[in-house]
Amino acid sequence: MSGTWVTGRPPAEKPGLLFYIMVDSVAKTVDALTAAGGEIVQPIGADAPEITARFCDPGGNVVGLYQQPNR
């Protein structure tokens, strides 16, 4: 999959598609996001036993993070 952030577009006002980005470590990614000023809207553990978290992108849309188990 490939893509880019699109600026100037309003965030979705109604819930709809929620996509997840697979990362090697959700914890390290959350640390990097918060260090850069990002907002975590669902912390790690809310979808246990899955390893996930959710954050707001620069436009206010919610994006999920996913880590494969045993990583």
Q: 26 exposed, middle or buried (CB, 10 Å; 0-12, 13-18, 19+)? A: buried
Q: For position 25, which CATH number holds?
A: 3.10.180.10
The vertex-31 CA angle with 51 and 2, nearest 5°, equals: 70
Mean pLDDT of 12-30: 88
How much is the mean pLDDT over the chain?
87
Residue 36 is assigned to a structural domain of this protein: yes
pLDDT at 1: 57
Range of the domain at 28: 20-67
pLDDT at 68: 93
Please tell me the total count of domains within the chain. 1
Residue 71 — very low, low, confident or very high, per pLDDT cuts 50/70/90?
Answer: low
Model confidence over 34-59: pLDDT tens digits? 999 889 999 999 999 999 999 998 87
Residue 4 is assigned to a structural domain of this protein: no
pLDDT at 42: 96
- Measure the CA–CA gap between 26 and 17, rounded to whole angstroms: 20
